[in-house]
Amino acid sequence: MNTNFFNQIKQLDFTGVLQLSISKGVENNLVVSVMLNNEQCGDTAKQLIPPLNLRGTTDELDNGFFEHIAAPIASVSGLMVNMESFMKQMEEAKKQSAMEKEKSDREKKTKEEKDKKYKEAMQKVDELDKDGKHREAWIKVPEPTDYPEYSEAIRKRKNELSEKFSAPSLFGTE
The Cβ of residue 36 has, within 10 Å, a number of other Cβ atoms equal to 24
- As a whole number of angstroms, the distance between CA 49 and CA 36 comes to 9
Instruction: Please report the pLDDT score of residue 53 as a whole number.
Output: 93
Give the span between the Cα atoms of 102 and 162, in whole angstroms. Answer: 43
Burial 60-92 (b: 16+ CB within 10 A, else e): ebeeebbebbeeebeebbebbbebbeeeeeeee
Q: DSSP secondary-structure letter at 46? A: G
From first to last of the 174 residues of the chain, give the pLDDT tens digit: 567 888 888 888 888 999 999 999 888 899 999 999 988 888 888 888 899 999 999 999 988 888 989 999 998 888 888 888 888 888 888 888 877 888 888 888 988 998 899 899 889 988 888 888 878 888 888 888 888 888 888 888 888 878 776 666 556 554
Nearest to 51 by CA among 18, 26, 27: 18
Q: Where are the domains of the chain?
A: 5-89, 111-174
143 near 114, Cβ under 8 Å?
no
Residue type, 102: E
Say how many residues make up the chain: 174
